[in-house]
Amino acid sequence: MKDKLDFVLDLVYGSYQAAGHPKGNDALTRDISVTQSLFEELGIAFTGWPSVTVTGSKGKGSTSVMIASVLQQSGHRVGLVTSPHMRHFNERIRVNGQCVSDDDLLGAAHHISKAVHAVANDLSAPKYLGPGGVILAMAHRIFSKAGVSAIVVEAGRGGEFDEARLIIPQVSVITPVMLEHQDSLGSTKEEIATTKAKIVTPNTTLISAHQSPEVYTALERVAKNRNARFIMTDSAVRVTNEMTTPDGMMCDFLVEEKNYENIKIPLSGEHQIQNAATALLAAQALLKATVSDGALRKALGNSKWPGRAQLLQKNPWVFLDGAINKESAEFVAKIVKQFPGKRTVAVIAVPKPKDIVGVFEEIARVTDSAIITTVTNPALAWYDDAENLAKKYFKEVRYIPHAQDAFEESLKDTDGVILLGTQSFVGEALKNWGVETCKLW
């Protein structure tokens, strides 16, 4: 018997699949006016809720979660849309940090299905109705029924051509921008930053985390052209007393005259302090008020973001992240350098065309041993020469084709394990370690 959510998945991905999974520059392959037509067909708009959109290359998910949590602790009932999901499709739409139910998803899908098919049936390849647009339409139905009072939406890979731009937010956030999706977004950081920054609505607020100079210049230019107030976290938040703890990070924030002391962030890595500072600014910009000490402390202290820079167990320690490029792997290497033990191994599952060599190069700085593995996913292609490529960087390399077997082998005679790879691999790891993904706080 088919799973009842198959109807939902067919509705979300049907048009994209029928168009043959178009790839290439987003300016040529993505047309968000199609999603706008769907919204008009359904008679929906997101303008009734105070809203924040979040884009970037690294940390946009955890930043979105923190913003949503701060807003909830400040009195809002919050709708949250994120991607990708790790274990359950329901993770993509949440109310107050909790995944929506199968029944809510199915009900929303049935409610919009006639309009989805009407719009999709008028299209010819390579045009398609984007999955993100269908998810937003379902989210609108769910949020309306749930009585949310504010929403936070994480964009997909871009900004200018991402369906999240149709939200018309009061606040847009850019997390650190890296070289990624160069075939879709642009060949340089400046080009990528420019298309991401165009998620901002004219005459609103654009908030950015720490960026490289060329990214900063691109963001500032877009903000000026759109008459958007531009706030850099670096200059608006003073961070002091940074400390790595066994359970995450701790620091003090000073924003204008408000001092937040001994703030705990139960997520690993110094970059999570930057994400938290960015989230604080975004929440305050939307609220048009100072976030209370108690609200910030509770919001950040209880937040979780499974599968992203996550310590799955302590003895031996097992650290999991979805790093699939050099810069993300560099983040991971900095974190695991602080963990104890000499006998460590990295389990790596990076598919084509992601930056497997960059991952090898950075992780080889913190371990001499690697296990190369894969996961079963028809949408993924794997490097045939991954094992040989790894041997250029690691002293010991093993190829274990199935991730579950690789997990078991990695725990033998070791002080620590680094798990790195694509979304499906992260999902397998979370399932293997029994990590709950549907409740974030």
Q: Could you give the CA distance from residue 424 to residue 318 in angstroms, rounded to a whole number? A: 18
- What's residue 121's pLDDT? 94
- pLDDT for 418 equals 98
How far apart (Å, rounded) are the C-alpha atoms in residues 129 and 32?
8
Name the token pair of 303. Answer: 């937040």
DSSP 132: H
Which pLDDT score, from 0 to 100, does residue 28 have? 74
Report the distance separating Cα 219 and Cα 117, nearest Å. 37
Q: What stretches in the chain show pLDDT beneath 70?
A: 1-2, 181-185
pTM: 0.93
Sheet of 317-321: strands edge to edge?
Answer: 310-314, 317-321, 416-421, 344-349, 369-374, 396-402
From CA 362, how far away is CA 177, in angstroms rounded?
18
Distance separating the N- and C-terminal Cα atoms of the chain:
34
The pLDDT score that the predictor gives to residue 244 is 87
Whole-Å CA distances, 274 to 13, 189, 286: 34, 20, 19
Output phi, psi for 417, to 5 deg.
-130, 130
Residues 6+ apart with CB under 8 A from 155: 53, 54, 55, 60, 162, 164, 165, 196, 199
And the tokens for 311? 């310590």
Question: Under a CB-based contact definition with an 8 Å cutoff, are residues 109 and 11 in contact?
Answer: yes
Q: Give the number of C-alpha atoms closer than 13 A to the C-alpha of residue 277, restricted to the C-beta side.
A: 31
Please provide the size of the chain in residues: 441
Find out whether 252 and 261 touch, Cβ atoms under 8 Å: yes
Residues 205, 322: Cα–Cα separation, whole Å: 30
CA angle 382, 385, 390 (to 5 degrees): 105
Distant-in-sequence, close-in-space partners of 45: CB < 8 Å, separation ≥ 6:
39, 168
Cα–Cα separations (whole angstroms), residue 340 to 290, 343, 344: 40, 9, 10
H or E element: which one contains 370?
Answer: strand 369-374
Domains and CATH numbers, the chain: 45-95+147-301 (3.40.1190.10), 310-432 (3.90.190.20)
pLDDT of residue 2: 53
Residue with tokens 């606040």: 171
Of 80, 46, 78, residue with least CA distance to 60 = 80
266 contacts: CB under 8 Å, gap ≥ 6: 247, 248, 300, 301, 302, 303, 304
Q: What is the pLDDT of residue 1?
A: 34
Q: Which residues contact 392 (CB under 8 A, 6 or more apart)?
A: 360
- Give SS3 for 52: strand
The confidence score (pLDDT) of residue 58 equals: 86
- Tell me the C-alpha distance between 56 and 179, whole Å: 11
